[in-house]
Amino acid sequence: MKYLLMAYVNEAAWPKMTKDEQEQGMAAYTAYREALTTAGVLTGSNRLQPSSTATTVRLANGKSQVLDGPFVESKEQLGGYFLIDVADLDAAISWAARCPATSHGVVEVRPIWGVPA
């Protein structure tokens, strides 16, 4: 089954970290991706630009409304994702627990709406 692991992290914390800490942080994510790849479960992954770059689009009174900023203003913002293919929810949770984001944010685990067989 496919699951999307969404890393919600505190964006304000990253710029405050020292260069060493940032490098260590990046390396932890690289290693995590490496482990996912070696286990053969990684389907896709990307890091997102900060939510200050986000633009929100909706339809209001029949007209497109474009707004600057993320959908929800919150300390924790979606910072990246890992799309994985594993046997079940427990396996997905055990991968989520290893995600470096759990130490500076939260990881939301959501099953992908699959095509019924």
> Which positions touch another protein (CB under 8 A)?
24, 27-28, 30-36, 38-39, 89-90, 93-94, 97-98, 100, 102-103
**Least distance to another protein, CB of residue 13, Å:** 14
What b-and-e string marks burial along 69-86, b requiring 16 or more CB atoms within 10 Å of the CB?
A: ebeeeeebbbbbbbbbeb
As measured in angstroms, the least distance from the Cβ of 107 to another protein is: 11
Three-class SS state of 20: helix
Return the closest-CA partner of residue 6 out of 56, 72, 87.
72
Asked if residues 101 and 82 have their Cβ atoms less than 8 Å apart, the reply is no
Q: How far is the CB of 100 from another protein (least distance, A)?
A: 7
> Nearer to another protein by C-beta: 78 or 107?
107
- Tell me whether residue 13 or residue 67 sits nearer to another protein (CB atom): 13
